[in-house]
A and B are shown apart, each in its own frame.
Chain A
Amino acid sequence: AQSVTQLDSHVSVSEGTPVLLRCNYSSSYSPSLFWYVQHPNKGLQLLLKYTSAATLVKGINGFEAEFKKSETSFHLTKPSAHMSDAAEYFCVVSDPDSGGYNKLIFGAGTRLAVHP
């Protein structure tokens, strides 16, 4: 089965500084990977996805992630944090079941705080 590990449960940055949220995955093949964001008391929104095309994936709101097979990593970055980026971020891997159906497996989440 596939799995993801988010290496930091909390990250705190100052507004205007870079953001790095780390994610490692475990997969027996080339997986589909995603980052989702959850703002307080809201549902989840897709930030970006990697599906074996370009290894550098650009998402919404200036976020991007790089798939590195050799490091089994899919870290999320943003050059300059904004106050509105404060939220919880989930790294997600697609896991096929015995019937070929792909389920989403979520990491534990990283809470990003942005300070003025």
Chain B
Amino acid sequence: NAGVTQTPKFRVLKTGQSMTLLCAQDMNHEYMYWYRQDPGMGLRLIHYSVGEGTTAKGEVPDGYNVSRLKKQNFLLGLESAAPSQTSVYFCASSYSNQGDGYTFGSGTRLTVV
């Protein structure tokens, strides 16, 4: 089935460890996004990409890095995890830049201890 696939689905990290979350889409979408979801705060945009090889900062980019080397993949990296980065991370992609047509992945639950 076409869509957005996130790996892993769950992960527990120790403070200071690093990891990479992978997002893959097979819909040929130009635009991809990483959000974090925390209780009572909705989803907040971390970074986004408007095309292969491009990235831009969102609302809460500190502590994260991203790369979009291939159009279908958008990687989110945590270089030195902190407990404040405990969250559920969602990747999304879209075909337009008009704010609609988003497809979301099922999320990655990350706990930093």
Contacts and interface: CB of A to CB of B under 8 A. Distances in A.
Interface of A: 9, 32, 34, 41-46, 49, 51, 90, 92, 94-95, 97, 100-109
B58 interface: yes
B104 interface: yes
Interface in B67-113: 90, 92, 97-100, 102, 104-107
Contacts, number: 63
B102 A104 contact: yes
B58 A51 contact: no
A38 B38 CA distance: 14
Contact of A90 (B43, B99, B105): B43
B104 A94 contact: no
A102 B58 CA distance: 11
B42 to A, nearest CB: 4
B80 to A, nearest CB: 27
B107 A51 contact: no
Contacts of B2: none
Interface of B: 4, 33, 35, 40-45, 48, 50, 56, 58, 90, 92, 97-100, 102, 104-107
Q: Which 10 A-B pairs have the closest CB atoms?
A: A94-B99, A106-B42, A43-B104, A102-B99, A106-B43, A44-B104, A43-B106, A108-B42, A32-B99, A101-B97
Contacts of B48: 103
Contacts of A42: 106-107
A107 B42 contact: yes
B98 A51 contact: yes
A103 B105 CA distance: 17
14 contacts: A34-B99, A34-B100, A43-B4, A43-B90, A44-B43, A44-B92, A51-B100, A94-B99, A101-B50, A103-B33, A104-B43, A104-B45, A105-B45, A108-B41
Contacts of A45: 104
